[in-house]
Amino acid sequence: MAYATTATRTSYDHKVNTPGYDLAARLQAYQGQFMECWNSLQKLTSCSSLTIQFFLTGKADIASCCGSIDIIWSKCTWPSAVTSLGYTPAEANILKTYCDAVSAPPANRKP
């Protein structure tokens, strides 16, 4: 058992110390995107009582959560970012569809 741990650790150390594997540089390059995703996921977490009510009754207004959902959709790994909060991929797509409908301009109406 100790051998497997040592072998795994050695493999990890080799990978990290390989030229071109600069974690600090990658984190710095994507820092804004990571922070925006993280903040949006936290905001969506604070919306969980509304989203639960939305799924249970269909009557909750989750429009205030849509900004976070839109950021997560466009800048993060969707739906895995949302499923990490406990939503299924189908529920994540329902949230996105709802937010798209809320933000869509009204249809042109003829007088």
Name the one residue in this structure whose structure tokens are 């604070």. Answer: 46
Q: Is 18 left (phi over 0), alpha (psi -120 to 50) or beta?
A: beta
Q: Which domain holds residue 53?
A: 30-103
pTM: 0.63
Q: What is the pLDDT of residue 83?
A: 85
Q: What is the pLDDT of residue 6?
A: 46
Give residues with Cβ within 8 angstroms of 72, minimum separation 6. Answer: 37, 40, 41, 44, 78, 81, 82
Residue 95 lies in a domain: yes
**Count of structural domains, the chain:** 1
Residue 96 lies in a domain: yes
Residue 99 lies in a domain: yes
Per-residue pLDDT tens for 7-66? Answer: 444 554 555 555 566 766 666 666 667 788 888 889 988 999 999 999 999 888 999 999
Per-residue pLDDT tens for 72-107? Answer: 888 887 668 888 888 998 999 999 999 999 887 766
In whole angstroms, what is the distance from residue 87 CA to residue 78 CA? 11
Residue 11 lies in a domain: no
Residue 38 lies in a domain: yes
Q: Residue type for 42, please? A: Q
Which has more pLDDT, 110 or 73?
73
